[in-house]
């Protein structure tokens, strides 16, 4: 398996070429303070809030421009036998929930094992459309590959889900309605529709292979250009599941394994 440095280096180079720096941080109090300071009226995800949950397994990516934070994303490693149970009890968002058991929609996938729960993504308005919302999930994904994470998961609200962003930008390959709008959704504190978005290891390892090969032949050197080209591919009719689904490699073959370089299974979130 490639080292974390090898996985991150291409994205780090693109950020550098575009005038950005990034760091991996573990001070979640600083993440919460930066998220509140953004004042964009979006959710300060309680999963990463030290006043709501223990943060011993959390980290965040801090992207800066001229020394100022302009983009961020957080992730928390979770070991669970049943992700649905964490949602039903509310313990995904609060170590000591005070509400009753929550009713989830039927038909949710069984997700267990070692997960990354991702969220807290923010890009300063003056730096949007620069590819930062595209690169942040890739940096987290690199760590997920190195850490042998089995699933990456998050939640999105209905309006974001309809935009396609969870697939062509954030890298998820599945989405299931988990709160139908008649039940209390803890992150917002209100009754709103929310989706569980997810991508299993076999898919995000395949994504990493494909994108690494793509960058080798890509003529662009600025993050915004590379991100736009990749999103264009993901938005084509083949769709994310056809491109990275079970037709391709299973994920048992690790990224860069076997000494044969990076391969991409065509017709293959």
Query: Sheet containing 151-157: which strands, arranged edge to edge?
Result: 21-25, 58-65, 68-80, 113-123, 151-157, 190-200, 174-185
Confidence of residue 245 (pLDDT cuts 50, 70, 90): low
Which residue, 23, 72, 63, 64, is CA-closest to 45? 72
Q: What is the pLDDT of residues 17-72, one digit of tens each?
A: 999 999 999 999 999 999 988 877 677 899 999 999 999 999 999 999 999 999 99
pLDDT of residue 1: 59
Q: d(Cα 220, Cα 111) in Å, to the nearest integer?
A: 37
pLDDT of residue 257: 34
Instruction: Give me the residue label for tokens 């994310």.
Output: 240
User: How many structural domains comprise the chain?
Assistant: 1
Q: What is the pLDDT of residues 153-204, one digit of tens each?
A: 999 998 777 788 899 999 999 999 999 999 999 999 899 999 999 999 999 9
Q: d(Cα 67, Cα 70) in Å, to the nearest integer?
A: 9
Instruction: Give me the residue label for tokens 């996985």.
Output: 7
pLDDT of residue 268: 28
- Residue 268 in any domain: the answer is no
- Residue 232 in any domain: the answer is yes
Which of residues 115 and 244 earns the better pLDDT score? 115
- Other Cβ atoms closer than 10 A to 67: 6
Q: Are 47 and 55 in contact (CB under 8 A)?
A: no
End-to-end distance of the chain based on CA atoms, in angstroms? 22
SS (H, E, C) 180-247: EEEEEECCCCEEEEEEEEEEEHHHHHHHHHHHHHHHHHCCCCCHHHHHHHHHHHHCCCCHHHHHHCCC
- Residue 55 in any domain: the answer is yes
Instruction: Judge whether residue 241 has pLDDT over 70.
Output: no
Instruction: Judge whether residue 79 has pLDDT over 60.
Output: yes
- Residue 265 in any domain: the answer is no
> CATH number, domain at 99?
3.40.630.30
Which of residues 19 and 237 earns the better pLDDT score? 19
Q: What is the pLDDT of residues 114-152, one digit of tens each?
A: 999 999 999 999 999 999 999 999 999 999 999 999 999
Question: Which pTM does this prediction carry?
Answer: 0.87
Q: Are 266 and 247 in contact (CB under 8 A)?
A: no
Instruction: Judge whether residue 242 has pLDDT over 80.
Output: no
Confidence of residue 258 (pLDDT cuts 50, 70, 90): very low
pLDDT of residue 253: 40
Q: What is the pLDDT of residues 211-233, one digit of tens each?
A: 999 999 999 999 999 999 999 98
Residue 246 structural domain: 4-259
Which of residues 232 and 76 earns the better pLDDT score? 76
- Residue 269 in any domain: the answer is no
- Residue 183 in any domain: the answer is yes
Q: What percent of the chain has pLDDT over 70?
A: 87
- Residue 264 in any domain: the answer is no
pLDDT of residue 150: 98
Q: What percent of the chain has pLDDT over 90?
A: 74
Q: Are 201 and 151 in contact (CB under 8 A)?
A: yes
Tokens of 128: 């949007």
């Amino acid at each position: 398996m490639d080292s974390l440095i090898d996985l991150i280096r291409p994205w780090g180079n693109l950020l550098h070429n575009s005038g950005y720096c990034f760091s991996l941080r573990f001070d979640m109090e600083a993440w919460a303070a930066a998220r509140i300071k953004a004042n964009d009226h979006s959710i300060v995800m309680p999963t990463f809030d030290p006043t709501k949950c223990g943060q011993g397994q959390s980290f965040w990516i801090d992207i800066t421009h001229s020394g100022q934070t302009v983009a961020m994303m957080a992730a928390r490693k979770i070991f669970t036998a049943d992700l649905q149970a964490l949602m039903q009890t509310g313990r995904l968002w609060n170590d000591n929930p005070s509400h009753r058991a929550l009713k989830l929609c039927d038909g949710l996938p069984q997700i267990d094992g070692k997960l990354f729960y991702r969220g807290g993504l923010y890009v300063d308005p003056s730096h949007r459309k620069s590819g930062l919302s595209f690169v942040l999930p890739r940096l987290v994904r690199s760590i997920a590959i190195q850490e042998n994470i089995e699933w990456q998961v998050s939640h999105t609200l209905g309006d974001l889900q309809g935009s396609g962003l969870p697939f062509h930008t954030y890298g998820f390959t599945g989405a299931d309605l988990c709160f139908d709008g008649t039940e209390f959704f803890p992150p917002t504190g209100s009754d709103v529709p929310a989706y569980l978005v997810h991508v299993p290891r076999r898919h995000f390892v395949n994504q990493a292979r494909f994108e690494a090969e793509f960058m080798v032949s890509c003529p662009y050197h600025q993050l915004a250009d590379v991100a736009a080209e990749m999103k264009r591919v993901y938005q084509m009719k083949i769709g994310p599941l056809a491109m990275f689904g079970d037709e391709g490699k299973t994920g048992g073959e690790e990224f860069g394994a076997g000494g044969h370089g990076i391969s991409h299974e065509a017709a293959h979130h």
